């Protein structure tokens, strides 16, 4: 089955609203959880990440929370703007190996003005 | 700010032909990766490379695929006999030894006819 499940697949919000995207993982050995933003036709770009020894991390309008017990982590975007519209991917890295990332299926976020 | 670069941006080939996709990782990075993304789907890991050898590979990376670091700057992905289902965006990524963050290149769109 999927190592990383991501929900929702699409998310439409009004400008100024908050957006939350959730991911669950199955490998308890995972210790690093990045979020990537991918605009249409462009490369994935890291927007925030969190390590397993931290429960929450914030960077301006973006925050990520991690619940190791439940094996899920979430991306929170506040005061959304039209330029936040993109596909967002969560990913996880196992504790072993060479930082291979396993990605979720992505969430298409559409922020309407 | 240094970036991963990839060439060509778009490659069109006939089924059964060999293709070589090229990447120039960020200069002080030691870990290199290839990922692919079929149109509209998630990013999938292919292979990781460290210290001049493959460190991990996925089930997608079969005998038709190979990677090479022919010199101090380039990192290549070769597909020996392309199939229709190889059509995808191929991303190269690299990272420093100390950090988990992977930096992605702009991708090569491979179209197999």
Cβ-based contacts of B31 with chain A (< 8 Å): 98-99
Judged by CB atoms closer than 8 Å, whether chains meet at B31 and A99 is answered as yes
Inter-chain touch B31–A98, beta carbons under 8 Å: yes
Residue of B nearest to A91 (CA): B43
Residues in chain B closer than 8 A to A32 (CB atoms): 100
| C-beta separation of B38 from B46 below 8 A | no
Does the pLDDT of residue A1 top 60, yes or no?
A: no
Tens-digit pLDDT profile for residues A2-31: 589 999 999 999 999 999 999 999 988 889
Pairwise CA distance, residues A105 & B11, whole Å? 25
Tens digit of each residue's pLDDT (9 = 90 or more) over B71-92: 878 999 999 999 999 999 999 9
Q: How far is CA A26 from the centre of its chain?
A: 16
User: Per-residue pLDDT averaged across B7-35, rounded?
Assistant: 96
B58: pLDDT confidence band, cut at 50, 70 and 90? very high
Interface of A with B in 73-92 (CB under 8 A): 89, 91
């Amino acid at each position: 089955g999927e190592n990383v499940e991501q929900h929702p697949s699409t998310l439409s919000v009004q400008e100024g609203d908050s957006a939350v995207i959730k991911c669950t993982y199955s490998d308890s050995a995972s210790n690093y959880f990045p979020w990537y933003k991918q605009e249409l036709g462009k490369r994935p770009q890291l927007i925030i990440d969190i390590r397993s020894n931290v429960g929450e991390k914030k960077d301006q309008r973006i925050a990520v929370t991690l619940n190791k017990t439940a094996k899920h982590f979430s991306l929170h975007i506040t005061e959304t703007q039209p330029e936040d519209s993109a596909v967002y991917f969560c990913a996880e890295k196992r504790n072993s190996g060479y930082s291979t990332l396993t990605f979720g299926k992505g969430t298409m976020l559409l922020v309407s003005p | 700010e240094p970036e991963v670069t990839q060439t060509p941006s778009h490659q069109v080939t006939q089924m059964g032909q060999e293709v070589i996709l090229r990447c120039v990782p960020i200069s002080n990075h030691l870990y290199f990766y290839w990922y692919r993304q079929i149109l509209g789907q998630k990013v999938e890991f292919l292979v990781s490379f460290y210290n001049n050898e493959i460190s991990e590979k996925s089930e997608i990376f079969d005998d038709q695929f190979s990677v090479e670091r022919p010199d101090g700057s380039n990192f290549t992905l070769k597909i020996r006999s392309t199939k229709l289902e190889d059509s995808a965006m191929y991303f190269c990524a690299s990272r420093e030894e100390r950090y988990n963050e992977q930096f992605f290149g702009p991708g090569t769109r491979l179209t197999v006819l």
